[in-house]
Amino acid sequence: MKKVLFVCVENSCRSQMAEAFAHIHGKNNLEVYSAGSKASGKVNDKAIKAMQAVGYDLNQHYSKSLQDIPDIDYDYAITMGCGDECPDVRAKQRLDWSIPDPKHMEPVRFHEVRDMIEARVSTLLLGN
């Protein structure tokens, strides 16, 4: 089972949605986590609404810091384009997806970012 970690600064939007799509599309083939370098402690309401629109309940998630995730060897550590390098995370592969931060975007643009994240997660899963 592949172990995947998605990271953004606050762990409130992008990495949360990436984790959700990995759960949706990865079924039971992945052990998936998300975290933030400066976790906000709260999942963004816009992210919750955007994921509800595709049938996923982000209310079951919470914003975690890098210190809150398991200290394991990850197959992938994927940052969302926020400049985080996660030096304390052991990973076989490190990827940066350069996803724009949707936090202050209007719903239409926010959904475009959500869809971009879903496409990236799906592509990652096809390679495994």
Spot the catalytic one: 4, 5, 7, 8: 8
Is residue 8 part of the annotated active site? The answer reads: yes
| C-beta of residue 43 within 8 angstroms of C-beta of residue 62 | yes
| C-beta of residue 21 within 8 angstroms of C-beta of residue 50 | no
Is residue 82 part of the annotated active site? The answer reads: yes
Give pTM, 2 decimals: 0.94
Count the Cβ atoms, other than its own, within 10 Å of residue 87. 7
**Looking at the predicted structure, is the pLDDT value of residue 27 above 90?**
no
Structural domain span for residue 47: 2-126
Spot the catalytic one: 82, 89, 121, 124: 82
Is residue 86 part of the annotated active site? The answer reads: yes
CATH, residue 108: 3.40.50.2300
**Per-residue pLDDT tens digits for 47-104:** 999 999 999 999 999 999 999 999 999 999 999 986 666 667 899 999 999 999 999 9
**Looking at the predicted structure, is the pLDDT value of residue 117 above 90?**
yes
Spot the catalytic one: 4, 35, 86, 117: 86
How many domains is the chain partitioned into structurally?
1
Q: Quick one: average pLDDT of 28-39?
A: 90
Residues 6+ apart with CB under 8 A from 13: 43, 44, 46, 47, 101, 102, 103
